[in-house]
């Protein structure tokens, strides 16, 4: 299938747990952890194959779009890998006895509300697309099923595993993880950033930005008395607590989410261009180098006086709508800076420029930008 070959990899794999962590776990001393990590890796590869197929045959995206309003559907995969499974809660239904069902429902709702209330966006496609989740997703090792140790967006729905209970808990627990996966969905209708190298790291970056903003916004909305301390962690609720791990990623201090963990190793994310990963693993470091723009976003947001989803979030949202699919970090810096200057004024522009500079990305000044375009540049 030439289309599949040509476009293969443009859609995000969109698993929250990156392959290098599964590979690390596949070398664990504990045979049970090693065995399931190998199954997890096989599962991730199978998901990519489905994504490539969907990419080449858009008709497979048969998600009903009511076209008006919030429509959540939660399915129970009952420990199997056939999606979506049995429908257990639809929009307006009463709460379930199953916490995973309620978390998927509530977190999809918070994500929908965030994009509607903050950016006037009607669901992932801006046309009211249904938000479909499958909880208790399992994976087969050829002999039987075990709870999936991951969460993913497959191009038309989310799926969440229950975790191994050793490193990862139930994957519906973190609102920022659910919102991260759904933002991959938003991007498939907007930036569609190629999921490799710097453009892939930007795809992961935008998913982390709106993942964390949905959580911060939702916490602020729910807070009755004291404001919740601001956290820039991704997936804090889904790691089994241990002194060597706090989360899956830390946007403010990349490289510190887990340190010398016996099962996960040390968080490989850099926070500056001089430390960027240049290897080929993880599709050229899409979950690794995203630490660089992540830190720039946090610096910009923290330099401004308002809530992170107000000015900084708006600049990044508008950037996500217009950024070309093959953009790199410098393109992202240039577009955010222009939007900051044009729509939000000098203070916002200063905050954005200094944030990118702090991670090693200097945006050429207006004077320098008047040089003739190089061959690689696009209009
Ligand atoms: Zn992702």
Residue 38 placed within a domain: no
The structure tokens 């979506």 sit at 84
Residue 152: beta bridge partners? 15, 159
Tell me if residue 7 is catalytic.
no
Cα 207 to averaged position of ligand 1 atoms, centre (Å):
6
Residue 160 placed within a domain: no
Residue 296 placed within a domain: yes
Residue 48 has pLDDT above 90, yes or no: no
Cα 71 to averaged position of ligand 1 atoms, centre (Å):
23
pLDDT mean across residues, the chain: 86
Residue 199 has pLDDT above 80, yes or no: yes
Tell me if residue 181 is catalytic.
yes
Cα 153 to averaged position of ligand 1 atoms, centre (Å):
8
Cα 369 to averaged position of ligand 1 atoms, centre (Å):
33
Sign of the torsion formed by the C-alpha atoms of 31, 33, 36 and 37: negative
pLDDT of residue 47: 57
pLDDT bin (cut points 50, 70, 90) of residue 44 is low
pLDDT of residue 11: 43
Rounded mean pLDDT, 330-354: 98
Beta strands in the chain (DSSP E): 72-76, 86-90, 131-135, 138-140, 145-147, 151-153, 158-160, 233-234, 249-250
Cα gap 281→275, rounded to integer Å: 16
Residue 194 has pLDDT above 50, yes or no: yes
Cα gap 269→275, rounded to integer Å: 9
Total structural domains within the chain: 1
Tens of pLDDT, residue by residue over 88-137, are 999 999 999 999 999 999 999 999 999 999 999 999 999 999 999 999 99
Cα 10 to averaged position of ligand 1 atoms, centre (Å):
13
Residue 275 placed within a domain: yes
Please choose, from the candidates 348, 341, 329, the residue with its C-alpha nearest in 3D space to the C-alpha of residue 365: 341
Please report, for the domain that includes residue 225, its CATH number: 1.10.390.10
Cα gap 246→215, rounded to integer Å: 17
Contact 197, 326 (CB under 8 A): no
Catalytic residue among 136, 180, 287, 344: 287
Cα 94 to averaged position of ligand 1 atoms, centre (Å):
30
State CA 256 to chain mean position distance.
Answer: 18
Strand, helix or coil for residue 234: strand
Cα 45 to averaged position of ligand 1 atoms, centre (Å):
15
C-alpha dihedral, 105 to 110 to 113 to 115, nearest 10°:
-110
Rounded mean pLDDT, 56-63: 44
Cα gap 196→259, rounded to integer Å: 26
Cα 226 to averaged position of ligand 1 atoms, centre (Å):
31
Cα 184 to averaged position of ligand 1 atoms, centre (Å):
7
Strand, helix or coil for residue 15: strand
Residue 183 has pLDDT above 90, yes or no: yes
Contacts of 241 by beta carbon, 8 Å cutoff, 6+ apart: none
pLDDT bin (cut points 50, 70, 90) of residue 270 is very high
Residue 315 placed within a domain: yes
Residue 157 placed within a domain: no
Residue 283 placed within a domain: yes
Cα 75 to averaged position of ligand 1 atoms, centre (Å):
21
Cα gap 136→75, rounded to integer Å: 9
Question: What residues sit around ligand 1, an ion, with C-beta below 5 angstroms?
Answer: 14, 207
| Domain assignment of residue 315, given as a range | 197-370
Cα 170 to averaged position of ligand 1 atoms, centre (Å):
17
Residue 212 placed within a domain: yes
Catalytic residue among 181, 198, 204, 237: 181
Q: How do 158-160 and 131-135 pair as beta strands? A: parallel
């Amino acid at each position: 299938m030439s289309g599949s070959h040509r476009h293969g990899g443009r859609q995000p794999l969109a698993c929250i747990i990156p392959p290098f962590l599964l590979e690390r776990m596949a070398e664990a001393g504990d045979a049970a952890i090693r065995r399931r990590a190998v199954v997890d890796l096989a599962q991730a590869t199978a998901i990519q194959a489905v994504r490539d197929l969907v990419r080449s045959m858009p008709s497979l995206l048969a998600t009903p779009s009511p076209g008006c309003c919030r429509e959540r559907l939660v399915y129970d995969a009952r420990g199997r890998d056939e999606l979506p499974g049995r429908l257990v809660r639809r929009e307006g239904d009463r709460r379930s006895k199953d916490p995973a069902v309620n978390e998927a429902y509530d977190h999809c709702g918070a994500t929908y509300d965030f994009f509607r209330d903050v950016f006037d966006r009607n669901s992932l496609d801006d046309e009211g697309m249904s938000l479909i989740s499958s909880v208790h997703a399992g994976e087969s090792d050829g002999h039987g099923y075990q709870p999936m140790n991951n969460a993913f967006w497959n191009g038309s729905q989310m799926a969440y595993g229950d975790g191994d209970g050793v490193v990862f808990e139930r994957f519906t627990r973190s609102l920022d993880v659910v919102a991260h996966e759904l933002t991959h969905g938003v991007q498939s209708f907007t930036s569609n950033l190629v999921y490799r190298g710097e453009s892939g790291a930007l795809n992961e970056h935008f998913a982390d930005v709106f993942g964390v903003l949905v959580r911060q916004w939702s916490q602020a909305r729910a807070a009755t008395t004291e404001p919740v301390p601001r956290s820039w962690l991704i997936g804090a609720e889904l790691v089994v607590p241990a002194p060597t791990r706090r989360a899956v990623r830390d946007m403010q201090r990349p490289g510190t989410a887990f340190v010398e963990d016996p099962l996960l190793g040390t968080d490989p994310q850099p926070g500056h261009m001089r430390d960027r990963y240049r290897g080929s693993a993880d599709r050229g470091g899409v979950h690794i180098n995203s630490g660089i723009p992540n830190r720039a976003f946090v610096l910009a947001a923290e330099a401004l006086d308002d809530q992170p989803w107000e000015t900084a979030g708006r600049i990044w949202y508008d950037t996500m709508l217009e950024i070309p699919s093959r953009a790199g970090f410098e393109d992202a810096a240039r577009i955010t800076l222009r939007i900051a200057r044009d729509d939000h004024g000098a203070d916002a522009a200063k905050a954005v420029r200094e944030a990118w500079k702090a991670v090693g990305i200097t945006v050429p000044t207006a004077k320098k930008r008047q040089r003739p375009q190089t061959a690689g540049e696009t209009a």
